[in-house]
């Protein structure tokens, strides 16, 4: 699975959009981009995933560049509860099973 690069930390004001970048320049054509987050001392939580089209669900939006070498997770109206470590993971949907390779992620701190 391709490797990802994320900034170690980011700050965001409550109510503002949080834009979390991820670089995955070696992504292959059959690899998806997944985002998970982990609130302190809890298990990781699935957020969203996508292949090449932008995706949106009730939690967030995922914007993938046309060349698929990078993506951005957008939390449209961040709240204090969104403070967590966010992990960007690249993996094949099939063939790779369920192995998730977590990097160090981005520590998002949402402040008043």
Partner 1 sequence: KAGVTQTPRYLIKTRGQQVTLSCSPISGHRSVSWYQQTPGQGLQFLFEYFSETQRNKGNFPGRFSGRQFSNSRSEMNVSTLELGDSALYLCASSLGRGLEQYFGPGTRLTVT
Residue of 9, 28, 54, 104 that binds partner 1 (CB under 8 A) = 104
Nearest distance in Å: CB 99, partner 1: 5
C-alpha–C-alpha distance, residues 62 and 83, integer Å: 18
> Closer to partner 1 at the Cβ: 81 or 99?
99
Does 8 bind partner 1 (CB under 8 A)? Our answer is no
Nearest to 24 by CA among 63, 86, 70: 70
Among 14, 44, 63, 109, binds partner 1 (CB under 8 A): 44
Q: How far is the CB of 16 from partner 1 (least distance, A)?
A: 27
Instruction: Give yes or no for residue 98 binding partner 1 (CB under 8 A).
Output: yes
**Residue 19 exposed, middle or buried by CB count within 10 Å (0-12, 13-18, 19+):** middle
Instruction: Take residue 90 and report the two structure tokens written for it.
Output: 């690249």
* Helices (runs of H) and strands (runs of E) counted in the chain: 0, 9
For binding to partner 1 (CB under 8 A), which residues are involved? 34, 38, 41-46, 49, 87, 92-104
């Amino acid at each position: 699975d391709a490797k990802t690069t994320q900034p170690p930390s980011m700050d965001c004001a409550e109510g503002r959009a949080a834009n979390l970048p991820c670089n995955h320049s070696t992504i292959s054509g059959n690899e998806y981009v997944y985002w998970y987050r982990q609130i302190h001392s809890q298990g990781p939580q699935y957020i969203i995933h996508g292949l090449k089209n932008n995706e949106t669900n009730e939690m967030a939006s995922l914007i993938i560049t046309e060349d698929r070498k990078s993506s951005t997770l957008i939390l449209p109206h961040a709240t204090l509860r969104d403070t967590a470590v966010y992990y960007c993971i690249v993996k094949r949907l099939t063939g790779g099973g369920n192995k998730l390779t977590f990097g160090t992620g981005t520590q998002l701190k949402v402040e008043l």
